[in-house]
Structure 1
Amino acid sequence: MNDVFHDRQARGRTRTGWLTSHHTFSFGSFNDPLRMGFRALRVINEDTVAGGSGFAEHAHDHFEILTFVLSGTIEHRDSAGNSGFLQGGDMQLISSGAGTRHSERNPSATEPAHLFQIWLHGEADAAPPRYQTLAGVLDAGEASSTRLVAGPEAAEGALALSAPVRIWAGKLLAGSRETQALAAGRFGWLQVLDGVVSVREGAAAEPLELRGGDALQLVTVRSVDLTAVTDARWLWFDLA
């Protein structure tokens, strides 16, 4: 494995009358044997769902399914009786475990919903499914912020994952800086959600400019320095 820059323009694409989706890894009709995931990460899709449309009820098992809504609204319903609305900035986790069925719909008649959906390999295949949400994880605001939003241990303000992965969500106002680091033996994934970020991998490296949809896969690099060129939102995955 190597450190890899994943260019948003090299992603697979699905486009229907109601959905535009970009796939970092193989998904659906997009099949690339060199893009089958990284560590626990298996799916990273950037979706735009037209108003009044959505994903009909379908089944999942095994995976930890994370949804980060950037703008618009998504309505969730599942076979365990959970239902609710996710607004821009909100995060949802479905630990599908032994199996669940759910649907996701944009209830607006006119406004699209823009989201990232990310699947992680789970480690609780025999467990009943669990549903969790966090509000305002990626809200636009007047200050830069970074927070732990999910992990395998119980933590205040973070969702409980059935996977050895920790996830931070961040927003940087233009000109702000942030550093993320990895412990020995861990692997990193930086996913830019929107905006433009200048990223330096290690002290001596030349900076890379990442835009929404771009990502960095980190194997040998132990830290990254981020500087926001514009206001930007991003996710940082610390992976076993």
Structure 2
Amino acid sequence: MTLLIHENMSRGRSRKGWLDSFHTFSFGEFRDPKRMGFRALRVINEDWIIPGAGFAWHDHADMDILTLVLKGKVRHEDSLGHKGETAAGEIQLMRAGSGISHSEMNGAEGETTHLLQIWIIPDKAGETPGYQQASLPTDGPRVLLAGPAGSSALTELGSDTRVTLLRTEEGGTTPVSPQPGRGVFLQIIEGLAEIDGERLTAGDGLQIDQTAPDIRWLTDGQALHFDLA
């Protein structure tokens, strides 16, 4: 396998009265043997949460959990004593480590919150839990959102993984071939692109483990680029 497209319309979906969630990989009641994660990347969920609602207190362990807010706000509280809001244009990282409990609620008054939540498996189990939050630069074609310690990322992961936000212009190209021994996953946030004659649109994922042609952008767009060991 060199290049695999995870089409947005074949994602799993969880719909409740307060939540509409699409799952790039198997999650909850959605099970697809072709979508069991990719290397350390385990979950990409795209969530819409109505005002006044959210995820009540629940537990995590041995997972790095990134929340990228696209619209609205998320109100976070956890068992380490962190309380606060993450707004559109900000990213939050919760390193669950040996164990942490938290809640995530829509903190936007009268507005549906739209976010991406990403789970990445750390290299070591049982590490000390932690929490980080950062604002994204408002311009620039590449923003290193998360990476290993010392990588100058906005937040620090417990694995040899780099998560980059790409901002692109119509007519631009994005190289996606991984370095030898590594893999790349690209999640389209917005825009229309093309690779090897196949169209890519918002919600599509692209899984690559060998040399692949560049992506050509047919419109302005945004994507998450995962560089995975």
Q: Which residue in 2 is equivalent to 1:129? A: 129
Query: Which amino acid counterpart does residue 82 of structure 1 have in structure 2?
Result: H
Q: What is the match of residue 36 of structure 2?
A: 36
Task: Say if 2:211 is the partner of 1:215.
Answer: no
1:232 aligns with 2:225: no
Moved more, 54-63 or 104-113: 104-113
Pairwise mapping of residues 73-84 of structure 1 onto structure 2 (< 5 A)?
73-84=73-84
Between the aligned partners of 1:131 and 1:90, the Cα distance in structure 2 is 14
Indicate if the aligned counterparts of 2:176 and 2:184 stay in contact, CA closer than 8 A.
Answer: no
Q: Secondary structure at the match of 2:214?
A: strand
8 Å contact 2:72–2:107 — kept in the other structure? Answer: no
Structure 2 matches for 1:1-240, cutoff 5 A?
A: 1-136=1-136, 139=138, 145-198=141-194, 200=195, 206-221=196-211, 223-240=212-229
Q: Deviations over 1:17-67 (max 9, x none)?
A: 110001111111112233211111111111011111111111000111111
Q: Deviations over 1:96-115 (max 9, x none)?
A: 11000111111223211111
Q: Distance in 2 between matches of 1:77 and 1:231?
A: 35
Shift in Å at residue 121 of structure 1? Answer: 1.0
Q: Which amino acid aligns with 1:228?
A: W
RMSD: 1.8
Contact 1:134 1:159 (8 Å CA) reproduced: yes
* Cα deviation code 1:113-144 (max 9, x no counterpart): 1111111111232222011112125x5x5xx5
What is the Cα deviation at residue 82 of structure 1? 1.1
**Displacement of 1:159 after TM fit?**
1.5
Residue 95 of structure 1, CA deviation: 0.9
State the 1:147 CA deviation: 2.2
- Structure 2 Cα separation of the partners of residues 27 and 35 of structure 1: 9
Q: Gapped runs of 5+ residues in structure 2?
A: none
- For the 8 Å contact 1:62–1:123, the answer to whether it is kept is no
- Percent identity between the two aligned chains: 40
- Equivalent-residue separation in structure 2 for 1:122 and 1:233 (angstroms): 26
Paired residues, number: 229
> Aligned letter for 1:86?
T
Q: How much has 1:181 moved relative to structure 2?
A: 4.1
Q: Residue 66 of structure 1: SS of its match in structure 2?
A: strand
Unaligned runs of 5+ in 1: 201-205
What is the TM-score when the length of structure 2 is the normalising length? 0.92
Distance (whole Å) between structure 2 residues aligned to residue 196 and residue 122 of structure 1: 32
Q: Which residue of 2 aligns with 1:203?
A: none
